[in-house]
């Protein structure tokens, strides 16, 4: 980007600009290196192991068909699958830590259209530092610590930003048409963007408008030609959906209160919705811009999520999920960009840098504990799969766990202790949970009086020793909220259909030096 900086900018200022941007990038990728593991972060990440297993055993035609087939009934994540297949073809294995790191390079590619945008509107390149602070804010990037998230959701944002920029500043470019037609195969919300692209090109009387309209219809027909899934929407749009949508749009808000987080998001989402409604249709005629189009697509994505997931559980919790935080932060970038093109308001550079820098700093502190909890759960699944060939965060079939033994995946010995304790020593002192719930194979335990850990760098887990008639099964689950004077809790998927289960609970401590020790906690009889 250095050659594209203004020629009038002094060399020392160019160097300072590069150092500032480089510091933001280094901070993000260093944290990725620090917290990521070479292991599937969520159940969806196992799909990439299944992908490699399939590709190795089928021909080209079958592989192309598999790359485009549905994921979770509705998503065609061909972009993510191609990314993984190419990495495997180059490296000979699927290393999740490396894959996540490389996929995060998409964030750097996201900065390029914003940099070009600043040049087009003749604003200071220093505004890109403010934009980078918002884009790389730690809280907004929690989803980028798992492979499916960074490839599908960040990939979606990458296509959105480049297409939106091209529609307004690279009119009639065939690369814009190509990216727009590929967008639905990055993430489903790309389908919602096709009508927006069509509208912009028709209003601009682009020479590509007819060609794109016909090709867009072709893409939609192809997308749904073999769709057999069932709708999960709860009928027409209601207050439940509207509330969920506003919470989704407010995912840029800092979670300053756990108790009122949903309402804080709802207020933040309402404010940004009113702002862009005023900017787009405030003067009767519709006024679209590069930043406004970013917001409209995030809005459309929120509508799809609220309609499609309303029957999957608590919609508030779904829209507050870490996987959607980056979408909320894109609304912040849209607001920032819109302030820059507002002719009736001078958005001073000093204010932009001050506010965005303060936001990134606050986001860092807000993201510390969520990131620690994510890594702890991730580590518990890694230990469970390595030592006991199972997972406790979700139901994982045995054939899926067996994919971890294939030649295209190998555990990183630096991430795993050499051995675990025997989990056999019992004593008469029991630390019983003050709350326990066991339903449909899901176990939830909470303690008020567990001993505190001796070092803040230690990681602690609950080991559940399930005593069955002919065998003993071990499950490892993260000990969440493991901070001084806090109620600590743990959740695990035990599975099984028996109405009563006897278990022994142990506390496993893993030090920074990978030294393990175990403490007997209690014995319980669980009634399903």
C-alpha torsion sign, points 223, 225, 226, 229: positive
**213 domain residue, yes or no:** no
516: nearest Cα among 467, 463, 464, 470: 463
- Quote the domain boundaries for residue 432: 417-527
Side-by-side strand order, sheet with 488-493: 435-439, 442-447, 488-493
Task: Give me the tens of pLDDT residue by residue for the chain, a chain 528 residues long.
Answer: 444 676 678 889 999 999 999 999 999 999 999 999 999 987 788 999 999 999 999 999 999 999 999 988 789 999 999 999 999 999 999 999 999 999 999 999 999 999 999 999 999 999 999 999 999 999 999 999 999 999 999 999 999 999 999 999 998 899 999 999 999 999 999 999 999 999 999 999 999 999 999 999 999 999 998 887 665 555 566 778 888 899 989 998 888 888 888 999 999 999 999 988 888 876 556 788 999 999 999 999 998 988 887 667 678 888 888 889 999 999 999 999 999 987 767 789 999 999 999 999 999 999 999 999 999 999 999 999 999 988 888 777 788 888 999 999 999 999 999 999 988 878 878 999 999 999 888 899 999 999 999 898 999 999 999 888 788 889 999 999 999 999 999 999 886 666 678 899 999 999 999 999 999 999 999 887
| Tokens, residue 455 | 């070092």
| Tokens, residue 152 | 């599908």
**408 domain residue, yes or no:** no
**456 domain residue, yes or no:** yes
**404 domain residue, yes or no:** no
- Provide the domain count of the chain: 1
Does this model's pTM top 0.85? My answer is yes
Cβ–Cβ < 8 Å for 374, 322: yes
* Residue 199: Cβ-neighbour burial (10 angstroms; 0-12, 13-18, 19+): middle
**453 domain residue, yes or no:** yes
Cβ–Cβ < 8 Å for 147, 48: yes
**248 domain residue, yes or no:** no
Q: Say how far apart CA 171 and CA 89 lie, in whole Å.
A: 36
Q: Say how far apart CA 342 and CA 336 lie, in whole Å.
A: 10
| Tokens, residue 172 | 């009639």
State the CATH number of the domain containing residue 516.
Answer: 2.60.40.10
CA distances to 160, 174, 463 from 296, rounded to whole Å, are 11, 23, 47
User: Per DSSP, which regions of 368-453 are E strands?
Assistant: 435-439, 442-447
* Residue 314: Cβ-neighbour burial (10 angstroms; 0-12, 13-18, 19+): exposed
List CB contacts of 319: < 8 A, sequence separation 6 or more: 244, 245, 247, 248, 251, 265, 302, 305, 306
Q: Say how far apart CA 293 and CA 330 lie, in whole Å.
A: 11
**368 domain residue, yes or no:** no
Alpha helices in 342-459 (DSSP H): 349-383, 398-401
| Tokens, residue 331 | 């609304």
DSSP at 312? G
Assign 3-state DSSP to the chain and report helix, strand, coil percentages, each to 5.
55, 10, 30
**322 domain residue, yes or no:** no
């Amino acid at each position: 980007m250095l050659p594209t900086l203004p020629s009038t900018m002094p060399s020392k200022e160019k160097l300072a600009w590069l150092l500032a941007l480089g510091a933001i990038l280094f901070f993000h990728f260093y944290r990725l290196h620090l917290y990521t593991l070479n292991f599937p972060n969520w159940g969806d990440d196992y799909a990439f192991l299944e992908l490699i297993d399939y590709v190795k055993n089928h021909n080209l035609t079958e592989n192309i068909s598999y790359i485009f087939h549905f994921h979770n009934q509705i998503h065609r994540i061909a972009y993510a699958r191609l990314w993984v297949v190419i990495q495997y073809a180059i490296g000979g294995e699927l290393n999740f830590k490396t894959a996540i790191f490389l996929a995060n390079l998409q964030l750097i590619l996201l900065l390029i259209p914003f940099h070009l945008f600043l040049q087009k509107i003749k604003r200071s390149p220093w505004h890109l530092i403010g934009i980078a602070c918002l884009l790389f804010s730690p809280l907004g990037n929690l989803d980028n610590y798992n492979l499916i998230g960074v490839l599908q959701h960040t990939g979606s944002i990458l296509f959105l930003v480049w297409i939106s920029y091209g529609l307004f500043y690279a009119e009639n470019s065939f690369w814009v048409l190509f990216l727009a037609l590929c967008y639905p195969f990055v993430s489903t919300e790309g389908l919602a963007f096709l009508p927006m692209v069509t509208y912009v090109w028709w209003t601009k009387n682009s020479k590509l408008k007819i060609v794109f309209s016909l090709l867009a219809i072709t893409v939609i027909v192809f997308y749904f030609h073999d769709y057999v899934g069932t709708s999960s929407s709860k009928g027409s749009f209601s207050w439940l959906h509207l509330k969920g949508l506003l919470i989704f749009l407010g995912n840029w808000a800092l979670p300053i209160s756990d108790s009122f987080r949903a309402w804080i998001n709802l207020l933040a989402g309402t404010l940004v919705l009113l702002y862009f409604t005023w900017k787009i249709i405030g003067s009767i005629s519709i006024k679209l811009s590069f930043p406004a189009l970013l917001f409209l697509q995030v809005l459309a994505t929120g509508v799809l999520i609220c309609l499609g997931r309303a029957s999957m559980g608590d919609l508030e919790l779904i829209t507050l999920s870490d996987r959607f935080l980056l979408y909320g932060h894109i609304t912040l970038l849209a607001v920032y960009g819109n302030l820059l093109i507002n002719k009736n308001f001078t958005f001073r550079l000093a204010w932009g840098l001050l506010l965005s820098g303060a936001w990134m700093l606050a986001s860092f502190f807000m993201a510390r504990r969520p990131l620690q909890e994510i890594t702890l759960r991730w580590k518990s699944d890694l230990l469970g799969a390595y030592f006991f060939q199972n997972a406790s965060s979700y139901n994982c079939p045995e054939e899926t766990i067996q994919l971890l033994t294939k030649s295209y995946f190998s555990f990183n010995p630096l991430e795993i202790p050499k051995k675990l304790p025997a989990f056999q020593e019992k004593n008469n002192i029991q630390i019983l949970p003050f709350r326990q719930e066991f339903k449909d194979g899901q176990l939830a335990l909470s303690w008020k009086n567990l001993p505190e850990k001796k070092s803040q760098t230690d990681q602690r887990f609950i080991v559940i020793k399930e005593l069955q008639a002919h065998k003993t099964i071990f499950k490892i689950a993260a000990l969440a909220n493991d901070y001084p004077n806090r109620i600590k809790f743990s959740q695990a998927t035990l599975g099984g259909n028996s109405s009563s289960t006897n278990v022994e609970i142990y506390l496993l401590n893993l030090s920074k030096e990978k030294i393990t020790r175990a403490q007997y906690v209690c014995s319980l009889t669980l009634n399903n």
